[in-house]
Structure 1
Amino acid sequence: MRMFRTIAAGAAAALISTAAMAAEYTLTISSWAPPTHGINAKMWPGLIKMIEDATDGRVTAEVKLGIAPPPAQMDLVQDGAADMSIIFHGYQAGRFVTTKLIELPGYEGSAEAASVAYWRVFEKYLSKANEHRGVKVIALHTHGPAQLHTNVKVTALDQIKGLKLRVPGGVGGDVGAALGATGIKVPAPKVYETLASKAADGVVIPMESRKGFRLVEVAPYVYRMPGGFYRGSFAMIMNEDAFAALPEDIRKALAEKVFGEPASRMLGKVWDEIDAIGLEETLKTPGNEIVDASAEDVAAYKPIADKIIAKVLDEVAAAGVDAKAAYAMIREEMAKAE
């Protein structure tokens, strides 16, 4: 039987479930976000609790930080160096195409609604592209609307042109290029130092990062577009051998009660919660300011967004997926949820 890894003491110790000592199986989670970020403070603990509850405590998991940088997580899990991880699809250019569908600008609704819609569309359409081959997808989710955070005040859409902005890849990269910004690609954990060193003027990222990545300290200005400039696509993944090594009744319980839509819903709900925390942190921090896009700028962004949507739909269709039907389903599912 497969031996499940244990975790060393240290910074991640606070994240370890107290049920680990009593569990029959302990899964190792690789996480790349800062210890206090919502991913580690809320998402992984939430998933671990769901796993423990579904298996009557027979399975738990432990979080280990800093095993590898964000872009390496897919290979890390596929190779068995960790049992589970979270990946951001935009960090791996060319590897994921259909996942860009959830990142498109213009969706209306919460991250919870978007994440549930994402899973349902994945099951019906996107999974056919087999882009996650080699690992088991256990949840899909998206953060809330991404907004512009800068160290120079931006009050109009046309002022973005020429700025040096950290962009994440995926649709976020397409948006930055369409707005005339100079893209700087660094993983999210490097955003603070990139802005602090003045290597970038800003970043397009959700409001949770105001606290999660301490942007209130290095990017005091927020330029907010209704619905955001884009959303980000994430997956929680599991090593296939680690899942197969679990007893059949445990696999069944996880598949029915945790993995898929239940976990996706939980994760999206957490993104909404930490977005609200990030907004609160901004409002109470002296020197921070939020500027909402004018009606004229909202209208000006629409044709830019429309071009990006058309481009992504073509890319997704080329991957063998009914892109228009999948896109329509996301919008319909989100509308029903709201």
Structure 2
Amino acid sequence: MKPAFFKSLVVAASIASAGWLATTTTTLAQEVTLRLHQFLPPQANVPKLVLDPWADKVEAESGGRIKIERYPAMQLGGTPPQLIDQAQDGTVDIVWTLPGSTPGRFPSTEVFELPFMMTNAEATSRAYWDLFESRMKDTEFKDVHVIGVWVHGPGMLHSKTPIEKLEDLTGMKVRAPTRIINTLLGTLGATPVGMPVPQITEALSKGVIDACVIPWEVTPALKVPELVENHTEFGGDHALYTTTFVLAMNKAKYDSLPDDLKKVLDDNSGQEFAAFAGRTQAGADGPSRQIAVDRGNNIITLDEAEVARWQEAAQPVIDNWVAEMDGKGLDGKGLLEEARALIEKYTAAQ
């Protein structure tokens, strides 16, 4: 009897132990759900071509252990300028946003938004990542875990009346995305109106603004080609402006992940992701431009001589920014020179 009794105990203990191990293994391998919050509708190019493919890739490479819930158009509440705080305090897990939506908080990023700095989105995004790693990661962005930083394609003007020369901008109410672009427009003679990109459609339709600055790629989602008939592009190797973006994660959430899942995120972060995001977002410029062309809209391209006039008029924006950064102890001249050198390096390598 005793041997059989003890044998039963051993079997029971083995079964219980196996069950505990299975439960523990399941617990260790359980799914992690991350909430991704951003300000554009899901059909817009960045969610469709950048954020969704990134999230899909992370999910696949995690073997289904990471699930990324996507919340477009501020569905989880708040306003676009509040997104970075939502990532920082853990209201959500990941956000895509503009550092410039919170003026003064990420001053070093503004170097890439200065007038006539950027060449193309991929080269500038690579430069942005390098400068982020060397100057911003442990300072301005120390409270979040950054997955990627990038810029959009050439920024340009979309207006109800034609802008064919610098003087045409005088007094025009023009929407801008960030502090630097507001300053630029004001310096060039316009009346700048700062607002998040989702508000452009209503502002144009109600006459709150006469024009806006955005890249081509986002114009279809905002119905801009239907609301204005004129689009002003800038000839030459450098765009009027660009805007900086960041894909940021709650730091505690990232730190809580097991090492293998951190590696999945790390493998989909960094300079190559930055280059992909910038290149892909800018790649949507052409098809979006064609929509305006097909509508018969007026596409204006300023020639080299006229662009030179805009560059000269915009120079005080650069000079004043350098002085302002120097005043903050951020080495404005050094930031400017390093950003220009990196952009030149990556543009030449293409």
TM-score band, normalised by the shorter chain?
0.7 to 0.9
Match of 1:103 in 2: 113
Distance 1:211 1:337, change over 3 A: farther
Displacement after TM superposition at 1:324 (Å): 4.0
Counterpart pick for 2:53 among 31, 40, 46: 46
CA distance in 2, matches of 1:242, 1:266: 25
Q: Which runs of 5+ in 1 are unaligned?
A: 1-21
Distance 1:93 1:324, change over 3 A: closer
CA distance in 2, matches of 1:277, 1:76: 33
Counterpart pick for 2:347 among 329, 335, 338: 335
CA distance in 1, matches of 2:99, 2:126: 17
CA distance in 2, matches of 1:247, 1:126: 26
CA distance in 1, matches of 2:271, 2:324: 26
Counterpart pick for 1:183 among 163, 173, 192: 192
Distance 1:231 1:108, change over 3 A: closer
Larger radius of gyration: 2
Q: Which runs of 5+ in 2 are unaligned?
A: 1-28
Partner secondary structure for residue 249 of structure 2: strand
CA deviations 1:27-77 (Å, max 9, x no partner) are 110111122111221221121133134433322311013222210101111
Is 2:320 aligned against 1:311?
yes
Displacement after TM superposition at 1:179 (Å): 0.8
Pairing of 1:190-229 with structure 2 (within 5 A): 190-226=199-235, 227-229=238-240
Q: Is the Cα contact below 8 Å between 1:97 and 1:315 reproduced in 2?
A: no
Counterpart pick for 1:238 among 249, 270, 280: 249
Displacement after TM superposition at 1:108 (Å): 5.1
Match of 1:153 in 2: 162
Q: Name the % identity.
A: 26
Q: Which stretch shows the higher mean deviation, 100-109 or 191-200?
A: 100-109
Displacement after TM superposition at 1:212 (Å): 2.6
What is the TM-score when the length of structure 1 is the normalising length?
0.87
Counterpart pick for 2:36 among 1, 16, 29: 29
CA distance in 2, matches of 1:188, 1:324: 27
Letter in 2 for 1:50: K
Pairing of 1:161-176 with structure 2 (within 5 A): 161-176=170-185
Pairing of 1:63-74 with structure 2 (within 5 A): 63-65=70-72, 66=74, 67=76, 68-74=78-84
Q: Is the Cα contact below 8 Å between 2:119 and 2:343 reproduced in 1?
A: no
Partner secondary structure for residue 180 of structure 1: coil
Displacement after TM superposition at 1:325 (Å): 4.0
Distance 1:147 1:53, change over 3 A: same
Q: Which stretch shows the higher mean deviation, 213-222 or 312-321?
A: 312-321
CA distance in 1, matches of 2:115, 2:222: 23
CA distance in 1, matches of 2:349, 2:212: 30
Q: Is the Cα contact below 8 Å between 2:111 and 2:336 reproduced in 1?
A: no
What is the TM-score when the length of structure 2 is the normalising length?
0.84
Match of 1:19 in 2: none
Letter in 2 for 1:337: A
CA distance in 1, matches of 2:349, 2:101: 29
